[in-house]
Amino acid sequence: MAQPLAATLDDFPPTQAIADAICAHCGQPAPAGRTFCCTGCAAAHDMIQGLGLGRYYEQRVLDAAERAPKPEPAERWDLARHVVDKPDGTHELTLAIDGLQCGACVWLIESVLAKQPGITAGRVNMTTRRLRLAWRGAAGDAERLVGRIEALGYRLVPFDMRALSAAQDQAGRALLRALAVAGFAAGNVMFISIGIWAGQTMSDPIGPAMLALLHWISAAITMPAIAYAGRPFFASAWAALKQRRTNMDVPISIGVILVTVMSLVETIQHGEHTYFDSAVTLLFFLLIGRYLDHMARGRARATAEQLLTLRASDVAVLLADGTIQRRAQEQVAEGDRILVATGERIGVDGVVDQGQSLLDTSLVTGESLPANASAGTKVFAGTLNLGAALTVRATATGETTLLAECVRLIEAAEARRSRFVVIADRVARRYAPAVHLCALTTFLGWYFWMDAPLGYSLLTAAAVLIITCPCALALAVPAVQVIATGRLFRAGILLKSPTALERLAQVDTVVFDKTGTLTEPLLALSNDVDPAALREAAGLAATSRHPLARSLVAAAGIVAPADNVVEHQGLGLSLSGPNGETRLGSRSFCGIEAGSADGPELWLARPGAAPVRFSFDERLRADALDVVARLRGMGLRLRLISGDRPEPVARIAAALGIEDWRAGCTPVEKVGLIEAWARDGAKILMVGDGLNDSPALAAAHVSASPASAADVSQTVADLVFQGAKLAPVWIALRTAVKSRRVMTENLALSIGYNVVMVPLAVAGLVTPWLAAAAMSSSSLLVMGNSLRLRKGARAPGTKT
Amino acid sequence: MTVILYLLAVSLVFGAGGLAIFLWSLRSGQYDDMEGAANRILFDEDR
């Protein structure tokens, strides 16, 4: 689990000093002299030890790329909506699980659940990161069970078992069954065939009766196996032919069926050569390719589902009688009153009804500083409430909202974007007609020109079809994709689109957004201050969620939060001491009359001491400079477009040496720029996180978002990367370029093999054993070449 | 040479047996979580 690479993608703010202590439960920094970082961790530790599961701490390996197992105030979910009642009186619930570190976590969760009364099944699926719960008793017990696991520090989100993912799973199983049947038949028929070939070459050849018997047995195994295992190909080929198109499955189906029928005719006529073994082995290899392809796609889809589920949230609707009901976002009606607690994201577009607070709109507009909100302020879904609780009246998610406008722009951009044809289909389009023409010419040549018997001519044509059947070709691309996807997955990069890898490899321009993409969510302290003042200020700030306060805490390192701090909404924090009141907050709150703020700042006013000023600046992601240099080293053109004001954008662009930057761009302008550059022939990778970037992400050739991005952006982006670093962008690009090289090599290998073998087949020199040997060896060669991509998977990003 | 008929029958029965076992394991969900199975083996001893 804990790859060295993953360890470089840790989630710690880089300027933070080495922590004084490490929390014994979650492994995050803890204040000096304490065993735990918070009471939640202490409680989790007690619970684990109390249940006698202390072995967990010895055996676990914390994966820095994952969320630390730190219990956080649990979100309230309407679990009852997702509980399925089974006829035998048990209840079932499936949840997406966040924060799984290693096998020990699976063991811990399952052991804790096993000790709960009434539980009949509690099983974690580590591949899909889902937890399936089944229990006897009341359906409402779900709250208690989920609460136990949340207390351990994992995040659980109820899963909507969509019909889509179930259907996907069915297809995968059907493929695996077909693969098993084809493998069984291929093994046995090949076994018999080797006997036949050996018998034919010996000085005392096997008799015709024995030969006929062995051929009949081969036919009896092969034909049902092909009828069963060939269905995925036949169905797809038939669907393509019905639409008067052709695809890779058409030559495959024609080849396999023709070869089997010809071999059957030979068997009936007591002929010498049959190709049953080739037909079924071919199918076996092709099914391997198809299954690999399915796995790559399935993983991409499961990733997207998991991301969406983990980010979904319920909305607290305030009913007329004053009670609160949790509802899914789409069930909120216009005019409903929504309660937004401190630190919660607003789930719907609306207008503030009651309350006064600070809103962090950085995901929506790209603006890096929070804005005040009071009754009448328009708010957008995705905005984070930093201050006091708000009541919001939901407005129509119709025409005028920002989200609706972005969705409209995304749809328009996607419609304009030309459909990408994957490399395998491009090759297949030219390959299929060439193969059929070749086989037909062979048949006509032998029958009319060489006056060969009809049976012999057909059999030679069949041999051509076997040799040209795109066996290695069908493996060439999916084998590489599966390996590359797995490799990126371990580096914290989730590929959501199966064609993203091929599109990434073509990129020649990288366009970055600024806020949240090149810069970190927190700001950096930009002036030198007295460390003692900083520590004291951070003690107050540790109680607040305001971005400046959190930035201050990050700059100070580990401090214990001060007790009895009072938060004054939109002004600052205060703490009453024996000598008077200490204040941390805005200029006016701290009683400074002179001057005005020239940027984000905080003041600390202490009794009997001069006020101290903390000024802040945007902070680049720790490895942004390094990654930008590496990308430039790959010969890529770099650009920066942002919705923020020109000054900060210019500063960031100068720091990174990006000459080509635009500031103050609206979503429409961003799309316009991307499309204009694309018209000039640029293949653009857009990296952005905000709602305002989402249309540009959709318009770009390929797009990436950090895991902290807005929901819409993550949905649109082709790949999503986790962690606080920018290195995944570079790793993904490099892996894509390498993958394309291996894919091209694979295609060259399989086509080169055809060039050598087809003339032999046309000349009628390919006997069944030669066909089988050539086919198997070319497939193995392609697989072996793809596996080279695994080598060196541990090396990249070490310097970062 | 009739022995070859017995041998063929035996090999087919073995092969079919293997196929049946695989299909059973597939149906019972043993291929649903390959990663979990690889890790679980390190911890399952007291259940």
CA distance B40 to chain A (A): 6
Query: Above 50 in pLDDT, residue A247?
Result: yes
Confidence of residue A79 (pLDDT cuts 50, 70, 90): confident
Token pair, residue A216, equals: 């009949």
A52: helix, coil or strand?
A: coil
pLDDT for A178 equals 93
Give the whole-angstrom CA distance, residue A360 versus residue A349.
Answer: 14
The more confident residue out of A119 and A248 is A119
Candidates A126, A191, A195; nearest CB to B39:
A126
The more confident residue out of A795 and A774 is A774
Q: Are both A151 and A116 inside the same structural domain?
A: yes
pLDDT for A19 equals 46
Beta strands in A361-469 (DSSP E): 371-373, 378-379, 384-385, 390-394
Contact B11 A127 (CB under 8 A): no
Confidence of residue A339 (pLDDT cuts 50, 70, 90): confident
**Residue partners of A756: CB distance under 8 A and separation at least 6:** none
Q: Which residue out of A60, A66, A127, A287 would a mutagenesis test of the B interface target, given it has the greatest number of B Cβ atoms within 10 Å?
A: A127
pLDDT for A222 equals 94
pLDDT for A510 equals 93
- Kindly state whether residue A308 falls inside one of the protein's structural domains: no
Q: Which of A554, A562, A558, A556 is nearest to A582 (CA)?
A: A562
Q: Which of B12, B6, B2, B14 is nearest to A222 (CA)?
A: B12
- Kindly state whether residue A303 falls inside one of the protein's structural domains: no
Contact B39 A102 (CB under 8 A): yes
pLDDT for A17 equals 40
Instruction: Label residue A129 left, alpha or beta by phi (over 0 means left) and psi (-120 to 50 means alpha).
Output: left
Contact A176 B43 (CB under 8 A): no
Bridge partner residues of A135 (DSSP)? A91, A119
The more confident residue out of A15 and A496 is A496
Contact A103 B40 (CB under 8 A): yes
Contact A127 B35 (CB under 8 A): yes
Q: Are both A375 and A337 inside the same structural domain?
A: yes
pLDDT for A615 equals 83
Query: Above 60 in pLDDT, residue A563?
Result: yes
Confidence of residue A419 (pLDDT cuts 50, 70, 90): low
Nearest CA in chain B to A115: B47
- Kindly state whether residue A487 falls inside one of the protein's structural domains: no
Q: Are both A14 and A117 inside the same structural domain?
A: yes
Give the whole-angstrom CA distance, residue B23 versus residue A170.
Answer: 14
Average pLDDT of chain B, as a whole number: 81
Order of strands, sheet of A509-512, starting from the edge strand that comes earlier in the sequence: A493-495, A719-721, A702-706, A684-687, A509-512, A637-641, A660-662
Q: Report how far apart the first and last C-alpha atoms of chain A are (Å, whole number).
A: 20
Contact A176 B31 (CB under 8 A): yes
Give the whole-angstrom CA distance, residue A750 versus residue A761.
Answer: 16
User: Angle formed by the axes of helices A208-229 and A163-201, to 10°?
Assistant: 170
Q: Are both A690 and A750 inside the same structural domain?
A: no
Candidates B26, B32, B33; nearest CB to A177:
B26
* Segment A581-616, tens digit of pLDDT: 888 887 778 877 766 666 678 888 888 788 888 888
Contact B32 A106 (CB under 8 A): no
Confidence of residue A507 (pLDDT cuts 50, 70, 90): very high
Candidates B23, B38, B39; nearest CB to A177:
B23
Contact of A458 with A443, CB cutoff 8 Å: yes
CA distance A504 to chain B (A): 28
Q: Which residue out of A66, A94, A100, A125 would a mutagenesis test of the B interface target, given it has the greatest number of B Cβ atoms within 10 Å?
A: A125
Nearest CA in chain A to B27: A173
Contact of A5 with A797, CB cutoff 8 Å: yes
- Kindly state whether residue A452 falls inside one of the protein's structural domains: yes
Q: Which of A675, A646, A676, A671 is nearest to A661 (CA)?
A: A646
Nearest CA in chain B to A174: B26
Name the pTM for this structure: 0.73
Query: Above 80 in pLDDT, residue A490?
Result: no
Nearest CA in chain B to A173: B26
* A747-753, Cβ contacts within 8 angstroms, sequence gap of 24 or more: A747/A423, A747/A427, A747/A473, A747/A476, A747/A477, A749/A472, A749/A476, A749/A778, A749/A781, A749/A782, A749/A785, A750/A470, A750/A471, A750/A472, A750/A473, A750/A475, A750/A476, A750/A778, A750/A782, A751/A473, A753/A472, A753/A778, A753/A781
- Kindly state whether residue A635 falls inside one of the protein's structural domains: yes
The three-state DSSP-derived secondary structure of A576-632 is: EECCEEEEEECCCCCCCCCCCCCCCEEEEECCCCCCEEEEEEEEECCCHHHHHHHHH
* Segment A99-113, tens digit of pLDDT: 887 888 888 898 888
pLDDT for A416 equals 66
Residues of chain B positioned with their CB less than 8 A from the CB of A124: 36
Residue with tokens 């969705």: A407
CA distance A357 to chain B (A): 45
Order of strands, sheet of A324-328, starting from the edge strand that comes earlier in the sequence: A324-328, A314-318, A337-340, A390-394, A350-354, A378-379
Query: Above 50 in pLDDT, residue A795?
Result: no
Confidence of residue B7 (pLDDT cuts 50, 70, 90): confident
**Could you say which of A161, A194, A213 is where a domain stops?**
A161
pLDDT for A103 equals 81
The CA angle A542-A156-A334, to the nearest 5 degrees, is 85
Confidence of residue A163 (pLDDT cuts 50, 70, 90): very low
Nearest CA in chain B to A101: B39
Contact A127 B32 (CB under 8 A): yes
Contact B42 A127 (CB under 8 A): no
Confidence of residue A218 (pLDDT cuts 50, 70, 90): very high
Contact A102 B43 (CB under 8 A): no
Candidates A126, A173, A176; nearest CB to B33:
A126
Q: Among the listed ranges A557-561, A609-613, A629-633, A667-671, which one has the minimum average pLDDT value?
A: A557-561
- Count residue pairs from A and B with Cβ separation < 8 A: 59
Q: Which residue out of B35, B44, B46 would a mutagenesis test of the A interface target, given it has the greatest number of A Cβ atoms within 10 Å?
A: B35
Which of A220-224, A237-241, A597-601, A645-649 has the highest average model confidence (pLDDT)? A220-224
Query: Above 60 in pLDDT, residue A797?
Result: no
Give the whole-angstrom CA distance, residue A646 versus residue A601.
Answer: 19
A491: helix, coil or strand?
A: coil
What is the number of structural domains in chain A? 5
Chain B residues whose C-beta sits inside 8 Å of any chain A C-beta = 1, 4, 8, 11-12, 15-16, 18-19, 22-23, 26, 31-36, 38-40, 42-44, 47
Average pLDDT of chain A, as a whole number: 80
- Kindly state whether residue A309 falls inside one of the protein's structural domains: no
A574: helix, coil or strand?
A: strand
Give the whole-angstrom CA distance, residue A549 versus residue A314.
Answer: 27
Token pair, residue A75, equals: 């979100």
Contact A191 B11 (CB under 8 A): yes
Residues of chain B positioned with their CB less than 8 A from the CB of A126: 33, 35-36, 39
Q: Are both A663 and A694 inside the same structural domain?
A: yes
Nearest CA in chain A to B2: A210
Please, what's the largest Cα pairwise distance for chain B? 55
Give the whole-angstrom CA distance, residue A749 versus residue A634.
Answer: 27
Q: Which of A370, A336, A687 is nearest to A509 (CA)?
A: A687
Q: Report how far apart the first and last C-alpha atoms of chain B are (Å, whole number).
A: 53
- Kindly state whether residue A749 falls inside one of the protein's structural domains: yes
Residue with tokens 């169905």: A235
Query: Above 50 in pLDDT, residue A799?
Result: no
Candidates B15, B34, B36; nearest CB to A124:
B36
**Residue partners of A15: CB distance under 8 A and separation at least 6:** A524, A554, A555, A619
State yes or no: is A85 an active-site residue: no
For residue A774, the number of C-alpha atoms closer than 13 Å in the C-beta half-sphere is 26
User: Angle formed by the axes of helices A276-311 and A471-490, to 10°?
Assistant: 30
Question: Can you give the CATH number for the domain in which A609 is found?
Answer: 3.40.1110.10
Contact A107 B18 (CB under 8 A): no
Question: Can you give the CATH number for the domain in which A705 is found?
Answer: 3.40.50.1000
* Segment A305-336, tens digit of pLDDT: 676 666 666 777 888 777 777 777 767 778 88
Span A733-757, mean pLDDT?
Answer: 89
Domain extent for A503: 493-508+623-722
Q: Are both A498 and A603 inside the same structural domain?
A: no
pLDDT for A220 equals 93
Confidence of residue A166 (pLDDT cuts 50, 70, 90): low
Q: Which of B26, B8, B14, B19 is nearest to A291 (CA)?
A: B26
Candidates B4, B26, B33; nearest CB to A176:
B26
Contact B16 A184 (CB under 8 A): yes
The one catalytic residue among A249, A513, A711, A718: A513
Span A122-138, mean pLDDT?
Answer: 84
Token pair, residue A36, equals: 């735990």
Residues of chain A positioned with their CB less than 8 A from the CB of B12: 188, 221
Chain A residues whose C-beta sits inside 8 Å of any chain B C-beta = 1, 59, 102-104, 106-107, 111, 114, 124-128, 173, 176-177, 180-181, 184, 187-188, 191-192, 195, 210, 217, 221
Residues of chain A positioned with their CB less than 8 A from the CB of B43: 59, 103-104, 106-107
Q: Are both A143 and A192 inside the same structural domain?
A: no
Per domain, the residue ranges of chain B are: 1-27
Contact B26 A126 (CB under 8 A): no
Q: Are both A182 and A279 inside the same structural domain?
A: yes
Span A773-796, mean pLDDT?
Answer: 77
The more confident residue out of A800 and A477 is A477
Contact of A476 with A750, CB cutoff 8 Å: yes
Question: A700: exposed, middle or buried (C-beta count within 10 Å: 0-12, 13-18, 19+)?
Answer: buried
Q: Are both A436 and A359 inside the same structural domain?
A: no
Candidates B8, B19, B36; nearest CB to A184:
B19
Residues of chain B positioned with their CB less than 8 A from the CB of A131: none
Q: Are both A13 and A126 inside the same structural domain?
A: yes
Span A363-389, mean pLDDT?
Answer: 76
- Kindly state whether residue A796 falls inside one of the protein's structural domains: no
Give the whole-angstrom CA distance, residue A441 versus residue A673.
Answer: 52
Contact of A717 with A698, CB cutoff 8 Å: no
Token pair, residue A741, equals: 């090289």
* Segment A668-723, tens digit of pLDDT: 888 899 999 989 988 999 998 887 888 888 889 999 988 777 777 877 888 888 77
* Segment A200-214, tens digit of pLDDT: 777 777 788 888 888
Residues of chain A positioned with their CB less than 8 A from the CB of B19: 180-181, 184
Which of A338-342, A428-432, A435-439 has the highest average model confidence (pLDDT)? A435-439
Bridge partner residues of A94 (DSSP)? A132
Contact B36 A188 (CB under 8 A): no
DSSP A278-292: HHHHHHHHHHHHHHH
pLDDT for A234 equals 92
Q: Return the percentage of chain A with pLDDT > 70, whole number.
A: 87
pLDDT for A30 equals 73
CA distance A269 to chain B (A): 22
Q: Are both A72 and A149 inside the same structural domain?
A: yes
Contact A217 B15 (CB under 8 A): no
DSSP A285-350: HHHHHHHHHHHHHHHHHHHHHHHHHHH--EEEEE-TTS-EEEEEGGGPPTT-EEEE-TTPBP-S-E
